[in-house]
Amino acid sequence: MWWLLAAAWCVLLPGPMCGYKQGSITNPEANMNISQLISYWGYPYEKYDVVTEDGYILGIYRIPHGKGCSRKTVPKAVVYLQHGLVASAINWICNLPNNSLAFLLADSGYDVWLGNSRGNTWSRKHLRLSPKSPQYWAFRNVNSGHMPTKAADPEAFMNVSEIIKHKGYPSEEYEVATEDGYILSVNRIPQGLTQLKKEGSRPVVLLQHGLLGDASNWISNLPNNSLGFILADAGFDVWMGNSRGNTWSRKHKTLSIDQDEFWAFSYDEMARFDLPAVINFILQKTGQKKIYYVGYSQGTTMGFIAFSTMPELAHKIKMYFALAPIATVKYARSPGTKFLLLPDMMIKSRANVYVAHTPAGTSVQNILHWSQAVNSGELRAFDWGSETKNLEKCNQPTPIRYKVRDMTVPTAMWTGGQDWLSNPDDVKTLLSEVSNLIYHKNIPEWAHVDFIWGLDAPHRVYNEIIHLMKLEPNLSQGTCKVTL
């Protein structure tokens, strides 16, 4: 069953994935629900709510007959279409009618029914439970086929703050408003278990998760295997960000998450607005002038963009630690199958906790931006689809190309030889562009998620991060290679 978890990471997802409009060339179907899409193509439809024995309410759709057919004909043979993993009934009707199985069957004289599995966009209701409740999602487990229970997997039912407190650590949670109105949840572990009575300021570190992740990625293993707890116990003041649109950062000053405008963002905005807001808030709250930054996957992409385009922000970073770094994805291979190979060394019993919090959601536009990155092979701003829109958004008719070489922050990088997203060929290009690279380590057998879930991560990466942090005050200014 472990491949299933990897697949769930690679495709899109129980969290919201919505709200993309591409200027004047919008496909109208992109903004339609299933009923509207069926009607749009001139077919009749019916919608029903079906209640399961355990209380879930499923949205079921029907195309009773094809175009031009009458209801008053003889009974038709019935066919039921069921979608696959993290998908919906829309899969059967999203092509043109002559290329969509549901429409083809209806036109061939069949009575077509389309199912929606519990938890997807169209089957997110229950007789008693709210989708905001962890209990609602207690069917998402892959651990030997057993459902998670509060007794066996209490953290699967907790938010980030509750997990931190559950492990005995102090926890603080803040809301940070960005310049463009998004309200982000930021979690803090101000100190470790061994320094609860120690006074005075501690060096500050910000941990930024990757695509479809959240702050729980840094604390989802046991304390001696989770970077968030390990850093706190090593004497650091640990802050963990949540990118706009994930489970814990779905608020805005003026927009509702039901509005497409809320979801009109990608990692561009995360770098331009989220990172500056969070970093400046942390500095204001702690009274410190600089912090350490640890990014994982998309969290490194945000760092490369922010620190290369905003020198004033870069000056607030003591050192940048990039885990599974991604600037370009020109050579990324087979993202649907192998780039998220699970670690050989991981705590299998923690699968319930991993799956309960991951994936945590993002926008369609963010995924489209990654698709553009694959096609272009470059680290560029989002292409809005027209010169007019690009001029409005980035003051030039084509997307801005970001230059990692402009980043001067001392940077340490850890890469995996089996990482099919942060591909070795892309990493080779990146290494040549990082102008102040002080340390790089490649771990030949590691894949993408080893960096957050691998049992050997403390020994192979985390201890080195701490060593470099403690070494940093003694490093001379400018480029300085470090040997560990």
CB 169, CB 149: distance < 8 Å: no
**Which SS3 state, helix, strand or coil, does residue 125 take?**
strand
The answer on 160 and 102 residing in a single domain is no
Residue 149 placed within a domain: no
The answer on 433 and 377 residing in a single domain is yes
Query: Would residue 83 show up in a list of annotated catalytic residues for this protein?
Result: no
Query: Would residue 297 show up in a list of annotated catalytic residues for this protein?
Result: yes
pLDDT for the residue numbered 10: 40
The answer on 118 and 264 residing in a single domain is no
Residue 387 placed within a domain: yes
CB 5, CB 351: distance < 8 Å: yes
Q: Which one of 126, 252, 440, 448 is the catalytic residue?
A: 448
pLDDT for the residue numbered 33: 87
C-alpha triplet 239, 240, 245: angle, nearest 5°: 145
The answer on 318 and 170 residing in a single domain is yes
pLDDT tens string 176-193 = 999 999 999 999 999 999
Please tell me whether the peptide bond between 359 and the residue prior to it is cis, using omega within 30 degrees of 0. yes
Count the domains in the chain.
2
pLDDT for the residue numbered 45: 94
H/E element holding 264? none
The answer on 466 and 396 residing in a single domain is yes
pLDDT for the residue numbered 144: 36
pLDDT for the residue numbered 325: 97
The answer on 189 and 317 residing in a single domain is yes
Query: Within 11-158, where are the H helices?
Result: 34-40, 101-107
Distance of CA 109 to the CA centre of its chain: 43
483: Cβ–Cβ under 8 A, 6 or more apart, which residues? none
pLDDT for the residue numbered 334: 52
The answer on 455 and 389 residing in a single domain is yes
Residue segments in the chain with a per-residue pLDDT below the cut of 70:
1-27, 31, 70-73, 140-152, 195-198, 333-360, 476-480
Residue 285 placed within a domain: yes
Sign of the Cα pseudo-torsion (296, 298, 304, 310, in order): negative
Q: Which one of 117, 297, 308, 363 is the catalytic residue?
A: 297
**Which SS3 state, helix, strand or coil, does residue 437 take?**
strand
Residue 290 placed within a domain: yes
pLDDT for the residue numbered 11: 38
Identify the domain boundary among 113, 129, 145: 129
Residue 99 placed within a domain: yes
The answer on 164 and 125 residing in a single domain is no
CA nearest to 206, candidates 163, 161, 252, 238: 238
Distance set, CA 377 to CA 7, 185, 266, 363, 420 (Å) = 24, 32, 17, 21, 15
Q: 474 exposed, middle or buried (CB, 10 Å; 0-12, 13-18, 19+)?
A: exposed
pLDDT for the residue numbered 196: 62
Buried b (16+ CB within 10 A) or exposed e, 407-424: bbbbbbbbbbeebbbbbe
pLDDT tens string 68-107 = 776 656 788 999 999 998 789 999 998 899 999 999 999 9
Distance set, CA 460 to CA 10, 87, 347, 348, 466 (Å) = 25, 37, 16, 20, 12
C-alpha triplet 197, 199, 205: angle, nearest 5°: 100
361: tokens are 């959601």
Residue type, 324: A
pLDDT for the residue numbered 477: 59
The answer on 343 and 415 residing in a single domain is yes
Expressed as residue numbers, the domain containing 117 is 29-129
163: Cβ–Cβ under 8 A, 6 or more apart, which residues? 155, 216, 219, 220
Residue 219 placed within a domain: yes
Residue 250 placed within a domain: yes
pLDDT for the residue numbered 9: 39
pLDDT for the residue numbered 339: 39
CB 100, CB 66: distance < 8 Å: no
Q: Which one of 237, 419, 426, 450 is the catalytic residue?
A: 419
The answer on 321 and 376 residing in a single domain is yes
The answer on 72 and 200 residing in a single domain is no
Residue 83 placed within a domain: yes
CA nearest to 327, candidates 429, 406, 411: 429
For the domain that residue 79 is a member of, what is the CATH number?
Answer: 3.40.50.1820
pLDDT for the residue numbered 150: 65
Tokens 């500050």 — which residue?
Answer: 204
The answer on 388 and 258 residing in a single domain is yes
**Which SS3 state, helix, strand or coil, does residue 328 take?**
coil
Tokens 């066996």 — which residue?
Answer: 152
Residue type, 183: I
